[in-house]
Amino acid sequence: MKTTLHTEITVADICKGFVYNEYEGKGLFGLDGRLVIQPEYQRNYIYADGKRDVAVVESLLKGYPLGLLYFVAAPDRRWEVLDGQQRITSFGRFVSGKFAVRDENGMEQYFSGLAENLRRRIVEAPLTIYVCEGEESEIKEWFRTINIAGVPLVQQELLNSVYSGPFVTAAKEVFSNSSSALVQKWRDFLSGDVKRQAWLETALAWAAGGKEKIGGYMGEHRFETDVSPLKTFFLSVLDWADGLFTRVDPRATKGLDWARLYEAHHASPYSPEAFTTKVEELLDDPCVKDEKGIVEYVLGGCEDARLLNVRVFSDAVKKTVYARQTAEAKKAGASNCPLCAIGPKANRAKIWTLAEMDADHVAAWSKGGATDISNCQMLCRTHNRAKGNR
Ligand SMILES: [Zn+2]
């Protein structure tokens, strides 16, 4: 991995050939066509609020440094902005007359209206730029080490920059556009910020077989223009998921690892009506703490109640049951854990403290057992864990 420090580039250099697209709200190019200010994967320009953009210009007027800028060397000998596009777009828009700042007399001044020495102070301001070149892992490591001001790029934004090319561009059209039909259709099944590449990340992780394999997958397909295999698998998973339900409740469906569930369960038949009814019943059950575990629980035949993180008994109930059990155990000279009392000799008369015990459903919750005092017993930690299915 190679990083090159550039201090010879000024604001004037960057502003040469600066193009701002008012309609898309993006600073596009600079540095005489060599710099891509806002590559496809980047966030839109958000500094145009009359505060942050003005603050950038005021920093330059006062001679303050703008902070470090990071560029990535792209394959076609261009540079792409990895970090700093908001600041660059701010001064680019100011120099090209898109907004005004107030001078010391409180008067609004566009760039062209500033005194010559002030204009010079802006355009001659030196910038500190790191250009990095190298393998994805190296750039990631480097990116972790540096302390980036502002909103850091999320992992997928970084990967998009490292593997920029036709594949990323085509994939983003499908998965990173919040107004696309696909995004509208599957919002009850997927979570995360579409614009910040959460859905693209999901689609890639599903196709690649895990988040950690996304980089390899992107490298392999980098120069392809056809994203249909990616799209086909994504839709196979979601069509299957959708087919499980007659009604979809996003509390149970949004943001699940659908590809994992698909691999494990898509070969089994389900009745959508029965499936939906069971899921809705569990959503209504106040004992179920983990709504996101419901679908997997039902897919697995309602056996692994741990997926639901079933609500346990209240402290008051536990204390009452503990006191009763312990008093009876002492009278009988036995352990206050009913399973220890009939177990190996060492613990047969052991009196556990409250902290050493857990509440257990006598009749398992998954078999209809209630979560109230009549169905509560205290077991020692070991026996409670061994019983597992609550
Ligand atoms: Zn025990």
Q: Which pLDDT score, from 0 to 100, does residue 339 have?
A: 94
Residue 48 in any domain: the answer is yes
Query: Which residues, other chains included, contact 386 with Cβ-Cβ below 8 Å and sequence gap of 6+?
Result: none
What residue numbers bound the domain in which 202 lies?
154-229
Tell me the CA–centroid distance for residue 351 and ligand 1, in Å. 10
pLDDT-derived band at 188, boundaries 50, 70, 90? very high
Tell me the CA–centroid distance for residue 297 and ligand 1, in Å. 28
Residue 330 in any domain: the answer is yes
Same domain, 298 and 321: no
CA distances from 149 to 84, 96, 227 (A): 9, 25, 34
Tell me the CA–centroid distance for residue 305 and ligand 1, in Å. 21
Same domain, 29 and 114: yes
Tell me the CA–centroid distance for residue 3 and ligand 1, in Å. 61
Same domain, 60 and 23: yes
Tell me the CA–centroid distance for residue 302 and ligand 1, in Å. 27
Backbone angles phi, psi at 176, to 5 degrees: -115, 15
Tell me the CA–centroid distance for residue 360 and ligand 1, in Å. 12
Same domain, 304 and 372: no
Same domain, 274 and 319: no
pLDDT-derived band at 143, boundaries 50, 70, 90? low
Tell me the CA–centroid distance for residue 379 and ligand 1, in Å. 6
Q: Which pLDDT score, from 0 to 100, does residue 147 have?
A: 43
Same domain, 158 and 145: no
Same domain, 278 and 323: no
The string of pLDDT tens digits covering residues 202-225 is: 999 999 999 888 988 998 998 999
Same domain, 291 and 345: no
The string of pLDDT tens digits covering residues 78-128 is: 898 888 888 999 999 999 999 999 877 778 899 999 989 999 999 998 888
Tell me the CA–centroid distance for residue 372 and ligand 1, in Å. 21
Q: Is the pLDDT of residue 68 over 90?
A: no
Enter the pTM of the model: 0.57
Is residue 62 within 8 Å of 107, Cβ to Cβ?
no
Q: How many domains does the chain fold into?
A: 4
Q: Measured between alpha carbons, how far is 88 from 125 in angstroms, rounded to an integer?
A: 12
Q: Is the pLDDT of residue 261 over 80?
A: yes
Tell me the CA–centroid distance for residue 304 and ligand 1, in Å. 22
Same domain, 89 and 134: yes
Same domain, 174 and 136: no
Which of 309, 339, 356 lies at the terminal end of a domain, its last residue?
A: 309
Which of 151, 175, 193 lies at the terminal end of a domain, its last residue?
A: 151
